[in-house]
Amino acid sequence: MTERVEVRQNVLKENDRIAGELRRGLAERATLCLNLISSPGAGKTSILEGTLEALGGTPLRVAVLTGDIQTERDADRLKRYGFPALQITTGGTCHLDASMVQRAMASLPSPDLDLLLVENVGNLVCPASYDLGEDAKVVVLSVTEGDDKPLKYPGIFRRARLMLLHKIDLLPHTRFSRDAAVADARRVNPEIEVLETSCVSEPGLGAFVRWIEQRLAEKRQAGRPARD
């Protein structure tokens, strides 16, 4: 048992070292990196589709890395929006790690980006423990899931900066309690921000896109050299 714990600690230590390298490189380029995490089927890829569509008319330089155990279907869906999209196929691993992201970034057409979006493997447990060098973890909780997820899987909600309460248009057709989910998420993480989103009707993804634009402005401001 002790050996297994030591191996895990060593794996996470090496992951954190690589994540630190990634974070420094992203900071030097003032690249905002977001790590999207959810259960399978919560709607991460659809959210990315809508986000890329909204950003298509802007001068922003955007790329997407999407993780999955098998197939490249998600990347194929996202390439249609005109931005580089690379699939990271884990071959059975239930999360992305920093070394996978580092290798994938080396395959992008250009490292000079304003925004890097990472779609993690569908899982609320393993991805929470792996730093990818991101500026923020974004957890997606759809109303078609249980509203008790924040207490069942507190690790990711504790580490996330933003929770997207997704598929909110379906709320009238479920027993999901919006108030309970938000209260439990803030019980785990009092600082977590919450936005309601939908890919098929109001409120849409406008609030999420504006949130990204605000984080981009903050990142640029933080990277701006001080005046004499």
The model's pLDDT over 64-114, given as tens digits with 9 standing for 90+, comes to 999 987 777 889 999 999 999 999 998 878 999 999 999 999 999 999 999
Q: Quick one: pLDDT at residue 146?
A: 94
User: Any residues with CB less than 8 A from the CB of 215 and at least 6 apart, and which?
Assistant: 32, 34, 135, 136
Model pTM?
Answer: 0.92
**DSSP H or E stretch at residue 44:** helix 44-55
Domains of the chain: 2-223 (3.40.50.300)
Q: Within 146-225, where are the H helices?
A: 149-152, 154-159, 178-188, 206-223
Range 19-23 average pLDDT? 97
Token digits of residue 76 = 């194929």
